[in-house]
Structure 1
Amino acid sequence: MTAATLPNGNSALPLLDSDVLRTFVAIAECGSFTRAARQVFRTPSALSMQIKRLEETLGQALFVREARQVRLTPEGEILLGYGRRLLRLNEEAVTQFLSPSLEGRIGFGTTDDVGTRILPGVLGQFARSHPAVQVDVVVGSSREMLARLDAGDLDLVLVTAGNPGQEVRGEIVHSEALVWAGREGGIAAQRSPLPVALAHHGCAWRGMALDALDHAGMSYRIAYTCEHCAGHEAAMLADLAVSPFPLSLIRPPLRRIDASLLPPLGDYQLELVKRPGAGQASEALVGYVMDAFRKT
């Protein structure tokens, strides 16, 4: 832990060491000094000493130590956000000078639910690290994105896995619960037949929802059809229908429907597919996308 010095020679605030921050973040994400030690290739006692010095420097307890795990204190949760950002900035700065210069264009296709989840952060970080690479983003259905990849129009696509007739061609990068959602205080979930908002034929969410309703013997009607999440949100906000929706994307005034009212839907997955021979720039963007999902 070093300290900055003011022009008049007086000691200023201490500077957080990147190595100590990396240790702190590893422990927070692993929930264990032992598991974090394996990740950073040090002994648990060495990590413990680093954290003790960090806590003394900041004058705050950062972890609550329990029998088989550790958890963050409120102050530790605040530092975790700063630590991740500082490490990310450090990586970007080093990459800017030491990584091979990348140039060119990437065609990146994705579904709109992914775009609202990770794209702003991923594209912003990638642009800062590789300013000479142009990324053109296309948003559409999974089927359309894969077709454009095969035609050579796109280099990289992030799509929903498990659509009818769609084999797994890439790497599964994310799995999440698909749940029923509707408007807070709305009555659509109590109507019979149940009004549902769905995408067009060939969508995995549509198939999961209809299979669940059929197996439960529930009466339903497709009240609203749209390819995009924004359309489903509009139907739910108007209390015209309920819809299958990723749990992480539900925001007030929408809410998750009580699990006792409608049948469970299970998990859905996102698949990252690369065009063969897409090039180094695409490979670099793959790393940023996968890193973003690891942190969600």
Structure 2
Amino acid sequence: MDDADCHLARRALPLLETEVLRTFVTIAESGSFTRAAQQLFRTPSALSMQIKRMEEMLGQALFIREARHVSLTGEGELLLGYARQLLKINAEAVGRFRAPALEGRVRFGATDDVVERVLSSVLAHFSRTFPAVEMDVSVATSATLLPRFDAGELDLVLITRGRLDLNGRGEIVHSEPLVWAGRDGGVAGQRSPLPLALAQPGCPWRAMALDALDRTGWRYRIVYSCDHCAGQRAAMLADLAVAPFPESLVRPPLKRLDDAGLPELGAYQLVLMKRPNGGAMEDALAAQVMAAFRGR
């Protein structure tokens, strides 16, 4: 290498890594390192280190860090536009070479708590990677999705394992504590009988909550019934009730009611099931779902 080549090598600009750009965009869109870490299945400290290294590389502060929220600096706003473009181009490039191998239709069912956490990002990534594959998505309760899967109406389902008879089928892709949650500063958790916001009968969260309360002799009444997480969240935000909720979905102004003396609920699992004779499309979608929960 001659002197001119050495000079050019020394002047070469560093490259922005796709993984770090994805982290940056997720933090910017969620407004929190903690929420971004939950979505990316990393620790907040790991994300903080990634952003710190990128800020040092660019020589610019990208976020204004406050107690419970982060916002973009002017330089961060500018980078956000570039980051989104780069991630889109990367996905299109990968999809251009991988997509021709897969085409057809895949039918996927999931519960709404999965939709809130990872489904939108998984489906967006899948559709960019395999644009020739048509997606039919059904969002319903586990008790509704399982019979449809068994009847051959769905190719894959991601459901909550509870009292459903799975006969050993499926693969556990996620497990986390189910906790009692309510409004921060609210009084619903102090009332007697305890006001509950629950899904309809058949929901594993409902069964776990009622079993725990009945086992300990806790007095309660069901004041709000809804099959969607958003409905339970609304009841808690209004301080009408408390609810059993996945730990990762308890976000301000909601909080865990660890000091209310309520009985432990234990952990619950999400199970991915796909047809035994499924093809490459089902395998590809299953792989992306598992990657979203388990990290890359």
TM-score (norm 1): 0.71
Q: Which moved more, 1:217-226 or 1:182-191?
A: 217-226
Aligned to 1:283: 283
For residues 175-232 of structure 1, what are the alpha-carbon distances to aligned partners after superposition, in whole Å with 9 as ceiling and x for unaligned? 0110001111111100001011111222111111011112222111111111111111
Q: How does 1:218-257 map to 2 (within 5 A)?
A: 218-257=218-257
Q: How does 1:150-169 map to 2 (within 5 A)?
A: 150-169=150-169
1:173 aligns with 2:169: no
Aligned to 2:183: 183
Q: What is the letter of the counterpart of residue 183 of structure 1? A: R
For residues 115-135 of structure 1, what are the alpha-carbon distances to aligned partners after superposition, in whole Å with 9 as ceiling and x for unaligned? 111011111111111010011
Identity of aligned residues (%): 57
CA RMSD of the aligned region, Å?
3.4
Q: Is the 8 A contact 1:161 1:168 kept in 2?
A: no
Q: Return the structure number with greater helix share.
A: 2
Aligned to 1:13: 13
For residues 38-75 of structure 1, what are the alpha-carbon distances to aligned partners after superposition, in whole Å with 9 as ceiling and x for unaligned? xxxxxxxxxxxxxxxxxxxxxxxxxxxxxxxxx85954
Report the Cα offset of residue 264 of structure 1: 0.9
Q: How does 1:198-237 map to 2 (within 5 A)?
A: 198-237=198-237
Report the Cα offset of residue 16 of structure 1: 6.1
Matched position secondary structure for 2:13: strand
Report the Cα offset of residue 258 of structure 1: 2.1
Matched position secondary structure for 1:134: strand
Q: 1:235 to 1:9 in 2, by over 3 A?
A: closer
CA distance in 1, matches of 2:144, 2:89: 35
Q: 1:202 to 1:166 in 2, by over 3 A?
A: farther
Q: How does 1:6-155 map to 2 (within 5 A)?
A: 11-15=11-15, 74-79=48-53, 93-94=93-94, 96-97=96-97, 101-155=101-155
Report the Cα offset of residue 277 of structure 1: 2.0
Aligned to 1:193: 193
**Can you give the 5+ residue segments of structure 2 that lack an aligned partner in the other structure?**
21-44, 58-83
TM-score (norm 2): 0.71
Matched position secondary structure for 1:13: coil
**Can you give the 5+ residue segments of structure 1 that lack an aligned partner in the other structure?**
23-70
CA distance in 2, matches of 1:228, 1:98: 36
Q: Which moved more, 1:106-115 or 1:230-239?
A: 230-239
Q: 1:250 to 1:80 in 2, by over 3 A?
A: farther
Number of corresponding residues: 239
Matched position secondary structure for 2:196: strand
Report the Cα offset of residue 163 of structure 1: 2.8
CA distance in 1, matches of 2:129, 2:234: 37
CA distance in 1, matches of 2:53, 2:146: 41
Q: 1:166 to 1:80 in 2, by over 3 A?
A: farther
Report the Cα offset of residue 79 of structure 1: 4.7
Q: 1:279 to 1:165 in 2, by over 3 A?
A: closer
Q: Is the 8 A contact 1:162 1:168 kept in 2?
A: no
Q: Which moved more, 1:105-114 or 1:206-215?
A: 206-215
Report the Cα offset of residue 157 of structure 1: 0.4
For residues 220-276 of structure 1, what are the alpha-carbon distances to aligned partners after superposition, in whole Å with 9 as ceiling and x for unaligned? 111111111111112111111100000111122211112452111110000001123
Matched position secondary structure for 1:118: helix
Report the Cα offset of residue 95 of structure 1: 5.6
CA distance in 2, matches of 1:274, 1:73: 33
User: Could you say which structure has the larger radius of gyration?
Assistant: 1
Q: What is the letter of the counterpart of residue 13 of structure 2? A: L
Aligned to 1:38: none
Q: Is the 8 A contact 2:91 2:128 kept in 1?
A: no
